[in-house]
A and B are shown apart, each in its own frame.
Chain A
Amino acid sequence: MLPIWRNRPLVVTIIVVIILVVLLIVTAGDNNMSGAESVVGSILSPVQNALYSATDAIADFFSRIFSGADIEAENAALQERVAELEAQLMDYDEMKLESERLKEFLNFNTETEGLEYVTAKVIGKGTGHWFNMFIINVGLKDGIAVDMPIVNGDGLIGRVVATGYNYSRVLTIVDSSSGVSAIVERTRDNGILNGTVSTGDEEDALLTMSYLPLDADLVPGDTVITSGLAGVFPKGIAIGEVIEVSKSDDGMKNEAVISPYVDFYHLEEVMVITSATIDIEEALE
């Protein structure tokens, strides 16, 4: 048997793992993008954009097949014509859906006057179940900065945590490391919303609202909005609704489970609010 140091693959593996662990310790919790990261990301993001658009169309196609189209019933002589029309219809549907989404954005814009925003397209989503982040196709060149809020017509999505030249990384509010200062619209009770790991589908995308006052009188169905207290998210953006309220046995802890309004698993276009971040130093002066 070879001594460990003479087993070259094992030595290489150990050295690489040590380097990676050091890198992980150094970079964990640091959302600033390094120069190298930014350059590599900027080069790769247009490729990612193109691939995402292409695969999104393929996924749409498959979802249509699996949604129960009765292909057998089609007349063989009409198949070619049907395929042609379906292709046109898909384009039409896509345009219609996009138009509806943009109308929602327009509604959002009129409801939150005074905010400036940049519309962005989702070009990649994280794999696995440990993080809930995605990337968008706007970055430094579009005036995007870290901590800018991300919303759509349904409500709050998250915030920008890193920016490259032409792309940005977004941390969603359902990610386990996310925290949002929120307020219950009816009772005006303040609390902190946290995401959870294991948000693989719609049913799992829930938030926990903690640090609620002990006398908070929440009921299922109450609307939760941003409080504007932490200085990142402007006040009044819809987040979700209360679906469960729980109190600890000793009555010293009050928590609520919130179902977000946003469908985090079918995000295509989002808006980056570029005018909402508060300059803390300016505010203090």
Chain B
Amino acid sequence: MRYLILSAAAAISLAFTGTFLPNINIAGISPDIIICVIASIAILEKSMAGAVIGLACGLILDLFFTGAIGFYAIPYFVTGAILFFVCTKLNYIDRYLLPVILASGAYLLKELIFALLAYMMNISFSFGYMLIRYILPEMLFTGVFMLLTHFIFIKIYRAGTMKLKSAKDFKRLL
């Protein structure tokens, strides 16, 4: 059941990212649902499942939209892995502040990796402009959207269909 739900989460976030979000952005700004899903799973499970979902989503995005395998997969996977390492070290847990901070930070990290890869691929861009015009607003938007995503994931985990690795932490959320 756990694998089914994680696969569904990956599929839904991917579908939203490639289809719905391009149509509902506000002045070109839209939240990163994949990051929200990765962060939520990392907080609740303290496992590498989020990183694996990031890797799978990234590879599919690469396949459809870039042709350069790894351009999306590397940032999403690395961000998921770092979230896992951070969450395993964390003793603090709450329902609002921590998810927002982690999702926003993860988004910023992901975009910094994108910028590094773009620089290595000789794509010309103004990092200052990108940071102010897109990255920071989307970071905030992703943080806010994380509240909704995390709320949904808590409901899913509360339903008891997901096996948890750290039930002690999870109980503190309920």
Asked whether A197 and B63 contact (CB < 8 A) given A17-B74, A48-B18, A59-B23, the answer is no
User: B117 to A24, Cβ gap below 8 A?
Assistant: yes
Contact flags B104-145 to A (C-beta < 8 A → 1, else 0): 000000000010011001011110011001100000000000
- Chain A interface (Cβ < 8 Å from any Cβ of B): 9-10, 12-13, 16-17, 20-21, 23-24, 26-31, 33, 37, 40-41, 44, 47-48, 51-52, 54-56, 58-59, 62-63, 124-131, 133-135, 161-162, 169, 176-177, 196-198, 200-201, 204, 265
A-B contact pairs, 24 of them (CB 8 A): A12-B48, A13-B77, A13-B78, A17-B77, A20-B74, A24-B117, A27-B68, A27-B69, A29-B68, A30-B68, A41-B64, A48-B18, A55-B16, A124-B64, A125-B18, A125-B22, A126-B18, A127-B22, A130-B118, A133-B65, A176-B123, A176-B124, A200-B27, A201-B27
Question: B43 an interface residue at 8 Å Cβ cutoff?
Answer: no
User: B81 to A161, Cβ gap below 8 A?
Assistant: no
> With the chains together, A131 CA to B32 CA distance in Å?
16
User: B77 to A28, Cβ gap below 8 A?
Assistant: no
Report the nearest A residue to B117, measured CB to CB.
A24
User: A20 to B70, Cβ gap below 8 A?
Assistant: yes
User: A31 to B123, Cβ gap below 8 A?
Assistant: no
Interface residues on B, range: 35 or more
Query: Which residues of the partner chain A approach B114 to less than 8 Å between Cβ atoms?
Result: 128, 130
> With the chains together, A176 CA to B117 CA distance in Å?
14
User: B81 to A162, Cβ gap below 8 A?
Assistant: no
Asked whether A24 and B70 contact (CB < 8 A) given A41-B64, A127-B65, the answer is yes
Report the nearest B residue to A133, measured CB to CB.
B65
